[in-house]
Structure 1
């Protein structure tokens, strides 16, 4: 396996707690996402909830991978044509906007990482369809996770579903291993060929977080060094869960009472496996 960190039972317990807490931040912020609110206010509310209510540490705050300036906020808010890493600020959300809120918390040293799409008021038909197809892409990818499967199986099914809908998959960013470290091996590509890349084994934990564009897949980086937008200004959507490879399949760790239900095809597919 090389550098892929296989988690112990204690690690898995810690990751379940961190994952649940990350998802609960999204539950908490959901009612505040409405026209007239600024992304900075959403960040302030999430920060306060994480630090004062949960006793968690917001992982993005001052996060600085090599070559990056420290990230200045506690959450990422990516609106409309922002693909990822949008920095909260003075931007006022208006009716018809769509945004991704990406949350990573640290609890007792473990990272929980998840993101959801939110509609501000009433979205366009395009925005709604892109958001729904991206959600299906994430769950199709997750549904491929089991011991003996390959990372390429995840990327393949995501790419097929997105491109069949007329959309494109962002290549420059991918899912990642996660645990006591925010980003570790393996890289989880959202495109690819079945049967390629690392073989999955029980105890691996990684994120599945496809970024899907309604237009072309090319991106551009803004002057702040973080914000990534679609080059053609088309809409982009993303969903993210943190997932454990179990002995028989997978367990989604970023679960909470307010999380959207998996698509019907996933519930149907996973039912027999759960019984067996």
Structure 2
């Protein structure tokens, strides 16, 4: 299902954190949302999954404004995996994954075969079967993140929103997760910090810088040394990974920042020391 972000601006406590952002996530595509800390990635995603209403602009999923949908209708269209989620640690991993089926059940209706199939499939896809019956509180951060992804997959929505899902995961788990996500039939919008993973596994990239779109398009056109220098302040070299034949990003040194309007002390004068 197609997702359209059209001229979205978001204000928080009087400050504009997202400023006239527009992009389209084609149906079935994996779109990587990039940018330094504070660039507005998480704030923008909140507008997509109906946690923060935009000051202006719209987010449309399947042609309908998400803020015009009822909560249950929205939950049938979009599943979410957040950075840090408040979880009931007395639940088992399996019970947590089962929460993804709530939008599909009417109040008071018992679990049906279709629910069990969706949960079982999500558990298998995310490789959490060996600890599916353990309490969530006994799992590592990475294992809990896998459970959160499995719950979202069990929700069986056409759109998946993920806010830095590779946090707490080791290198192998990061690769496995993004291979899984990029292979899903869903339209996925995923915020990432790792430029190399984004370039290798996303179909489309949107780079934010101070709340605005700095670049948007295919990874091979967006991911340039000039863009990385401008947005992230580091040197970079873009190439092809000989092992995977995918786009590769090699980061270099930090680019010295220019200090503007430095305070110059008069000759012979020193700042007083404070004890």
TM-score with structure 2 setting the length: 0.31
Bigger share in strand:
2
TM-score with structure 1 setting the length: 0.31
